[in-house]
Structure 1
Amino acid sequence: MNVNTLFSKKKAVGIDISDRSITLLELTRDSGGLYITAIGRTDLEPGVLERGEIKNAEKLKEAIVIVMDKASPQPIKPKRVILGLPEETIFSHLAQIPPHNKSERLERIQKIAEQSLPLKSDDQIIATRIFEETKERVQIFVTATSRKRLQEWKELLAEINLTVEAFDAQSFAVWRGFSLEFQAKAVCVIDIGRTSTTIAITNNGNQYYTRSINLGGDNITKSLMESFQIPEEEAEKKKREIAVSSKDEKSFLSFQKVLDPIVNEARTAIEYVKGKYNIELEDVVLVGGSSQLKGLVDYIKFNINKTVHLGSPRVSVMRDREGNESSLENILLYTEAVGLAIKGLGGKLADTDLSFMLPEEEVAMKEEERKQQQEEEGEKEEKTTWMKEHPKEKQLAVILAIGIVLLIGAFWYRSKQREDRQQKQQITLEDILDQQTVNIILPLAVNKAAYTENTVRGRVPSNSIEAAGSYQQALTFSRSLIEQEVADGEVLWSEPLNKLDPSKELTFPISVQWLMYQQEDVDRLTRQAIRENITDREFIIENILFEKLEATENPSVTQLIGTATISIKKKPVEK
């Protein structure tokens, strides 16, 4: 027996399938740590998969087999895989419930899922995590996906001899696949893929917000195609070669058309989590294939006013069968697949995270764990006998064991520091009956003469730009100046009121008008508008998002048009 066999080598395979691509990654863990032993990736043609729903099973199976066979540096032939689910198929709710007996918890969780998540009770596969449990309350994260959809995926993969060990959510896998430096922080993750972008906010491993929007790299390509009247291949090349904040006006506006809604959604998410949970974000992390666009980090940093990083996966080293190591190119494409594979390897980071399992798989997994425990106990007895017969090797093993103990101690100390840094969130919310999104139209007065108790107070400041190299530079400079004039309690509208025409030659000086309005008035009038329709229950306004302005017959009054997300309490209005 060789001393190296004292440390078992374990492999796991993560498979990340989106509407337009398939990524497979085999991860190995041994005494030297984690490393990638094989990767495979291919594009999916449109129509095979749509928002996580299988549309052409035969083509999908064929594509998965091709990826496995053509993986590098050798084919991937797994029996079990961890499969990532698109964020569009996952529904979550963070609930606040009173203290209760543990025996009641399952029933309470099922009730929360039935009332708060848009899935029929008999079609729910639920996963939960306790964020906080005190004498006053229990804060519990409830997430669910469709049983029918999981069954479809299970049967499809079984037809190509693959068993799904666990189903994982895209945002969970991405967080798990991160570099460890971000995993103990409050971070906003912006995962920009080809057809969609997922925004998730996580604090020390607990996910407080997630939303997926149908905008991604393909939309930028289409925007460039339309602006320049060029074919797709040329637009793809242009997208990769030019910077987001290009001096070319057409290029800049093509990027801005897609990126601004993403930035606005991220800004809204950050403000929502700060207001509701008192969590101040430390960093924004960009991941996904389309996050590598030139100048994107600076563009988002300027618009969100946070420290922005290009995320790096926790594992980026490839090792072949001969032990030769190399760094992977385009490693950001594999962040989710790395996180999925880590889930398959087990350990603290994976075992404390959430995943979805069909009931029969859960029973089988427990049986597998029982058998594995028996095998480990047998190996332990074998190793004890071997050490008695090999005293020199025993000394080496003892030295290695001491090293491992020291390493574990270091990780424990680091975890303890994280716990000491983290402040418990004191949230006093009622148990929620329902959550709704309602349309909101509020009148906004832009001068004092038009102010009334039924209007949002606003104003229209302006500045003059004497010189700039381009439309984008003029707009950026103007906004940076106007932001210094925003008073406490005021909100700055995201775009100038007098939009400049980038197709025309700029003539300086340029006057740029902006809109500011009082958030206090927005909150008050929104509450009044909702109360007119919901008279019998208390409610909480979770989020207000305005999408556009609309003129009225009165030039001094415009309309704010958008939506409000509200949580309706079980507690009726006190008469």
Structure 2
Amino acid sequence: MLNINKRSFGLDISDYSIEAVVLEETASGIGVSASGGITLDPGTVERGRIKDGEKLKTALAAVLASVGLNPSEPREWVFGLPESLVFTHVFAIENFNEHEVDKVIAQEIENTVPFRKSDLTYSYKTFADTSAGNKTMAFIAAAPKAEVSEWRAFFETAGVRVKIFDIESLAVFRGMFDKHPDLPVCLVDIGAVTSLVSIFTPLGLTYSYIINAAGKNISYQLASGLDIGFTEAEKLKIEYGLSAGGDHPAAAGIIGNILDKIFKEIKNNIDYFNNEYGFPPVKEIIVTGGTSRLSGFSEYIKTLDLGVDIRVGQPLYESAGIEYIEAIGLAARALKGYWDKTDPSIPVPPPAVKTERPENIKIWLQRTREFIKTARPLITNRRHIAVALGLLSALAGFYVFFDYFLGSVNRAAAPLPPVSESRIEAAIAPEPAAENVASSSREIKIIIKNISSPLNVRQGPGTSFKVVGKANPREEFIVIEEADSWIKISLSGGEEGWVFGEYADKVE
């Protein structure tokens, strides 16, 4: 009997390194058949953006060669789009109507993602949450079109075919688990710029939160506290970590102080999830990312009292090191269709199409060239030239005349243009009438819900008004006015603005 093994390919590119994994499914099961990685030169990739495409292309070719592949081979990779470029958001849809879900998603993006919807590429998944009265939950994943297009163009020039632009937090989970957990698990990925808190339940990713402190913050604090350069601080962190050693024994204390703050915020998020989401309590915390590999980190987390078990993440397949967890999860998506049911991906915008001249103009130009070619032997003096130019002018006049009248017939028969996206969004959350705007007679405060991204603050009570600021999750504001679903708040510096009330709770 013919036995064909299935293979899939995962590619993880961060600010610091590239990791690639080849998974292979055989009759005996799934395993890592090849893995390879390389450390990137500083400045090659910064905050998920390509800064030196040629260096990155050379490094990528070296990694692919290390796993026995050539970039020109027709392999389809799953690529993990850097987390700093991706916005994820999970929320409950009230009174779910499958015919209205696209509009609800558009409104949610408008209120939670700090980019115009027209500048984003996004997808979503919906799933039933039976833990709290059969609610319907939605999981949105979005990224700026420009940045995604940069990566698409890079892979095209590198000759690498990418099948899916995946989401880092989902890939990291898949790199450690082959299915969703029976009880909630908190995954903490301490990256270069941010630390991502993701809580997975039997439904999939159910809660996420970004902490603006991570590996680079540690290096900056080391550089400042020890009065050394950033590059030296990076080397010190990597070489000694939380172990006292080298010429700077105080380094371990500085790193520990930053980690204490990160884990305090992690605990706050777990407490919030346990109290508000209706699931059983989180059973364990799993830490991944470069910081989790620092010397002394495993000993450090044993000293934490978070009320829940905590450990460093390990890859699902032991033949690869922990630095390959995300790449394993990326490859797993292509190998197992199970994950496509719950995990959205980032749609890749198509390349810009070069505008071509209308067909009728091209035909006219071609005929003009043929006329000139035919008439050239007959043109022997200036008088002939004048006659030729006159004939060309007459032909052009007839062309414009007939094109106008024929075009007007076609234009009259053409359908009306579609309603613009901005008008559709405005219809989702209509602006209130003036008489519905009520001023608050006493000081009332609201707190922004614990959403995954800052909330838009607008100039007026509606989506058509300009965004004038951002309101951070869990931040409190004084209420000035209320208008149907919108709340006017006072910002720092004396400015005022409106937020969508569905994303705020009154402070008792």
Cα distance, 1:94–1:239 mapped onto 2, change above 3 Å: closer
Shift of the alpha carbon at 1:24? 1.2
Is the Cα–Cα contact under 8 Å of residues 19 and 195 in structure 1 kept in the other structure?
no
| 1:51 alignment partner, one of 39, 44, 47 | 47
Correspondence for 1:270: 270
Shift of the alpha carbon at 1:91? 1.6
Cα distance, 1:260–1:245 mapped onto 2, change above 3 Å: farther
| 2:12 alignment partner, one of 16, 27, 30 | 16
Correspondence for 1:132: 128
Shift of the alpha carbon at 1:131? 3.1
| 2:37 alignment partner, one of 26, 41, 55 | 41
| 2:337 alignment partner, one of 347, 372, 387 | 347
Cα distance, 1:249–1:64 mapped onto 2, change above 3 Å: closer
Shift of the alpha carbon at 1:165? 0.4
Correspondence for 2:87: 91
Listed as ranges, the matches of 1:271-286 within 5 Å are 271-279=271-279, 280-286=281-287
- 1:96-150 deviation per Cα after TM superposition (whole angstroms, max 9, x unaligned): 3333543333333233223332232222222222232678742222221122222
> What is the CA–CA distance in structure 2 between the aligned matches of 1:226 and 1:196, rounded to whole Å?
19
> What is the CA–CA distance in structure 1 between the aligned matches of 2:81 and 2:195, rounded to whole Å?
14
- 1:382-439 deviation per Cα after TM superposition (whole angstroms, max 9, x unaligned): xxxxxxxxxxxxxxxxxxxxxxxxxxxxxxxxxxxxxxxxxxxxxxxxxx97xxxxxx
Correspondence for 1:307: 309
TM-score normalized with structure 1 length = 0.56
Question: In the alignment, residue 309 of structure 2 is paired with which amino acid?
Answer: T
Is the Cα–Cα contact under 8 Å of residues 485 and 501 in structure 2 kept in the other structure?
yes
Unpaired runs of at least 5, structure 2 = 352-427, 430-442, 444-473, 488-498
Listed as ranges, the matches of 1:298-337 within 5 Å are 298-301=299-302, 302-317=304-319, 328=320, 331-337=321-327
Which secondary structure does the structure 1 equivalent of 2:20 belong to? strand
Is the Cα–Cα contact under 8 Å of residues 128 and 134 in structure 2 kept in the other structure?
no
Is the Cα–Cα contact under 8 Å of residues 199 and 212 in structure 1 kept in the other structure?
yes
Question: In the alignment, residue 296 of structure 1 is paired with which amino acid?
Answer: F
1:120 to 2:116 alignment: yes
Question: In the alignment, residue 532 of structure 1 is paired with which amino acid?
Answer: V
Give the % identical residues: 29
Shift of the alpha carbon at 1:538? 6.7
Shift of the alpha carbon at 1:88? 1.9
Which secondary structure does the structure 1 equivalent of 2:282 belong to? coil
Shift of the alpha carbon at 1:225? 5.5
Shift of the alpha carbon at 1:338? 0.3
1:173 to 2:171 alignment: yes
Across the two proteins, how many residue pairs are aligned to each other?
Answer: 370
TM-score normalized with structure 2 length = 0.63
Unpaired runs of at least 5, structure 1 = 318-327, 362-431, 434-453, 455-525, 541-565
> What is the CA–CA distance in structure 2 between the aligned matches of 1:16 and 1:192, rounded to whole Å?
15
> What is the CA–CA distance in structure 1 between the aligned matches of 2:55 and 2:484, rounded to whole Å?
50
> What is the CA–CA distance in structure 1 between the aligned matches of 2:328 and 2:168, rounded to whole Å?
11
> What is the CA–CA distance in structure 1 between the aligned matches of 2:287 and 2:505, rounded to whole Å?
43
- 1:465-486 deviation per Cα after TM superposition (whole angstroms, max 9, x unaligned): xxxxxxxxxxxxxxxxxxxxxx
Is the Cα–Cα contact under 8 Å of residues 178 and 335 in structure 1 kept in the other structure?
yes
| 2:106 alignment partner, one of 103, 110, 131 | 110
Is the Cα–Cα contact under 8 Å of residues 141 and 345 in structure 2 kept in the other structure?
no
Question: Which stretch of the first structure deviates more once superposed, 240-249 or 171-180?
Answer: 240-249
| 1:31 alignment partner, one of 13, 27, 31 | 27
Correspondence for 1:418: none
Listed as ranges, the matches of 1:44-83 within 5 Å are 44-69=40-65, 71-72=66-67, 77=73, 79-83=75-79
Question: In the alignment, residue 479 of structure 2 is paired with which amino acid?
Answer: E
Which secondary structure does the structure 1 equivalent of 2:308 belong to? coil
Cα distance, 1:182–1:223 mapped onto 2, change above 3 Å: farther
- 1:503-528 deviation per Cα after TM superposition (whole angstroms, max 9, x unaligned): xxxxxxxxxxxxxxxxxxxxxxx99x
Is the Cα–Cα contact under 8 Å of residues 125 and 140 in structure 2 kept in the other structure?
yes
Correspondence for 1:568: 501
Cα distance, 1:294–1:359 mapped onto 2, change above 3 Å: closer
> What is the CA–CA distance in structure 2 between the aligned matches of 1:211 and 1:339, rounded to whole Å?
20
Which secondary structure does the structure 2 equivalent of 1:533 belong to? strand
Which secondary structure does the structure 2 equivalent of 1:28 belong to? strand
Correspondence for 1:144: 142
Correspondence for 2:354: none
Shift of the alpha carbon at 1:166? 0.6
Correspondence for 2:477: 530
Cα distance, 1:268–1:349 mapped onto 2, change above 3 Å: same
Is the Cα–Cα contact under 8 Å of residues 171 and 330 in structure 2 kept in the other structure?
yes
Correspondence for 2:195: 197
Shift of the alpha carbon at 1:66? 2.1
> What is the CA–CA distance in structure 2 between the aligned matches of 1:136 and 1:303, rounded to whole Å?
34
> What is the CA–CA distance in structure 2 between the aligned matches of 1:121 and 1:249, rounded to whole Å?
49
Question: In the alignment, residue 277 of structure 1 is paired with which amino acid?
Answer: Y
Is the Cα–Cα contact under 8 Å of residues 61 and 70 in structure 2 kept in the other structure?
no
Question: In the alignment, residue 54 of structure 1 is paired with which amino acid?
Answer: I
Is the Cα–Cα contact under 8 Å of residues 131 and 206 in structure 1 kept in the other structure?
no
Which secondary structure does the structure 1 equivalent of 2:257 belong to? helix
Shift of the alpha carbon at 1:281? 0.7
Cα distance, 1:240–1:144 mapped onto 2, change above 3 Å: closer
Is the Cα–Cα contact under 8 Å of residues 19 and 38 in structure 2 kept in the other structure?
yes
Correspondence for 2:183: 185
Cα distance, 1:95–1:195 mapped onto 2, change above 3 Å: closer
Correspondence for 1:159: 157
Question: In the alignment, residue 113 of structure 1 is paired with which amino acid?
Answer: I
Question: In the alignment, residue 338 of structure 1 is paired with which amino acid?
Answer: I
Cα distance, 1:230–1:159 mapped onto 2, change above 3 Å: same
Shift of the alpha carbon at 1:250? 1.8
